[in-house]
Amino acid sequence: MCEKNSRRSRAADFAKLMLGSDELRSIQLLKLLSADAQGNAWPNRRDGLDPPCAKTQIRGVLKNLPFIAPSTPVLKKRPPSGPDWLHEIKHDGSRTQLHVHGERTTVYGRNGSDLSRRLRSICNAHSELHVRSIIVDAEVVACDDTGKPDFRERMFGGRHGVCACCFDTMHLNGRDLRPLPLAERRDALRNLLIEAGHPALRFSDDFPDPDKLLGVASRRGLEGIVSKRRDQPYRSGRNSGWIQVKTATWCEANRDRWELSEKQK
C-alpha cells in the first residue's frame, strides 16, 4: 500500500509539473526525473537567470504575420555532443505555432490548420504575455494517469488538461528573430514565460549531457530528445541542425501510432 501511494504521489507531482502548478513553477520539467541520473546531472536553471525582460514598446501598425513552416529535425540513432549543441526532451504531443497579435491569439497545427477553438486554454493563456506580438514554436502536451506525456491523451481529449511546451520564438514585437542564434531566441522566450508565469505555457529547458538525458527519457518511457545547434538561425523545413533521437522503449510502446492517427482522420 505504501509503495502504491508513493507511486501515486510521484505521478501527481509529475502531472502538476507538466501542467505548471504555481507551487512547482520554479522547478524545471526534468527535475523530478533526475533521480534516475548519476550524481547532480541536472543543474537548477532558475539559479542565476537574468531578470525578466522589460515590455517592448514599438511604434507603428501591428501587422498579422502568416504561418511559418516549422523547422523539422533529422532522425538519427545517436545524439551529437559538444559545446555547440543544446539538448531538450522531445515531448509526445502535437506540434503547434502560437501567434499573438494585440488582443488576438491563434494556435496553428503543424501544417497551418487553425486549432484555436480546440485549444482555447492555450489561447487564453497568452493574455499573460507582456508583448504586442509574438510567434512561438511549441508542442502541446497532455498527460496520462501517471503524469507522463502521452499522445493518446492528446488525441482523445486530455482528461488532465494540456499545456504548451515552448522551445523557440520566431517573431517578437514586430522584429523577425529568425536570423538570430537559437540561444538568443530561447533566452528571450525563457524570460517572457517566467514573467508570464502561466501554467499553460511552459518553457522547454535544455541540458548539457545528451547521453544522460536520453537515458532518463528511456527509463521513463518518454519519446526521446532533440539536439539543436546553439548558433543556428531558424530554418523552416528539414534541418540538419536539429537532431532527434527516439528511445527504444517509446518506439515499442507506440507501434500502433499510425493506426491511431488514421482512426482520427
Q: Are 119 and 163 in contact (CB under 8 A)?
A: no
CA angle 35, 167, 49 (to 5 degrees): 70
Q: What are phi and psi of 55, to 5 degrees?
A: -65, 140
**Which residues, in sequence order, are CB contacts of 127 under 8 Å at separation 6+?**
105
- How far apart (Å, rounded) are the C-alpha atoms in residues 182 and 168? 8
Look at the block and give the residue holding cell 509539473.
Answer: 17
List per-block mean pLDDT (blocks of 10 residues) for the chain, which spans 265 residues: 45 41 35 35 32 34 76 96 95 90 91 91 86 94 66 54 90 96 97 91 93 92 94 97 91 67 47
Residue 50 in any domain: the answer is no
- How far apart (Å, rounded) are the C-alpha atoms in residues 225 and 245? 6
Residue 4 in any domain: the answer is no
Residue 20 in any domain: the answer is yes
Hey, what's the cell of 17?
Answer: 509539473
* CATH number of the domain to which 146 belongs: 3.30.470.30
Residue 58 in any domain: the answer is no
Number of domains forming the structure of the chain: 1
- Predicted local confidence at residue 15, as pLDDT: 41
Residue 1 in any domain: the answer is no
- Predicted local confidence at residue 6, as pLDDT: 45
- Predicted local confidence at residue 118, as pLDDT: 87
Residue 107 in any domain: the answer is yes
- Predicted local confidence at residue 143, as pLDDT: 66
**Which residues, in sequence order, are CB contacts of 35 under 8 Å at separation 6+?**
none
- Provide the β-strand partners of residue 90: 224
What does 187-245 look like in DSSP terms, one character per residue? HHHHHHHHHH--TTEEE---BS-HHHHHHHHHHTT--EEEEEETTPPP--EEEEEEEEE
Residue 57 in any domain: the answer is no
- Which one of the listed residues 90, 212, 228, 246 is annotated catalytic? 90
Look at the block and give the residue holding cell 511546451.
Answer: 165
- Predicted local confidence at residue 39, as pLDDT: 34
Residue 30 in any domain: the answer is yes
Range of 250's domain?
9-39+64-263
Q: Which segments of 24-154 are extended strands (E)?
A: 71-75, 85-90, 94-101, 104-109, 133-142
- Predicted local confidence at residue 5, as pLDDT: 47
Q: Are 170 and 135 in contact (CB under 8 A)?
A: yes
Q: Is 63 a catalytic residue?
A: no
